[in-house]
Amino acid sequence: MHVELLQAQKNYGRYELGLRLGDTYGGSAAVDAMFPLAGNRLHANLSFHHDGLILAGLYDWGFPIAPNFIFYPGVGGIVFIGDDFQLGVAGELGFEYAFNIPLSIGLDWRPVITIIDDGGFSGDGFGLNIRYRF
């Protein structure tokens, strides 16, 4: 079992590029990427809203829970640039499965607290992630 969990961690530390479908702070789809970073990873999104651009960057910690299956909590920031400017702090809780082909699929929840502009809370940031691993 220990070797299988090490394989899950190895799959976690790879570059990934794909889509995040679901609420992305006002958008419904985002270009989704993962970058290895000091044993963990940077989770980045880019999406377009009807009146602007949304960028998110989160630092995720990976915890293998089964072969090819990872739990990842994270924290970071989100910015909206458009008719107005918004800046927020985002959290993230997610699960990801890495197939034995270069494909991963995951589900996550990303609550956001806006600190510049309206000062509100958004807790409906659920997403489905489909990414190519390389």
At 92-132, the pLDDT tens digits run 999 999 999 999 999 999 999 999 987 899 999 999 999 99
Q: Are 93 and 99 in contact (CB under 8 A)?
A: no
Q: Which CATH number fits domain 2-133: 2.40.160.20, 3.40.50.300, 2.40.50.1070, 3.40.50.970?
A: 2.40.160.20
Q: What is the pTM of this model?
A: 0.86
pLDDT at 109: 97
Q: How many CB atoms lie within 10 A of CB 5?
A: 17
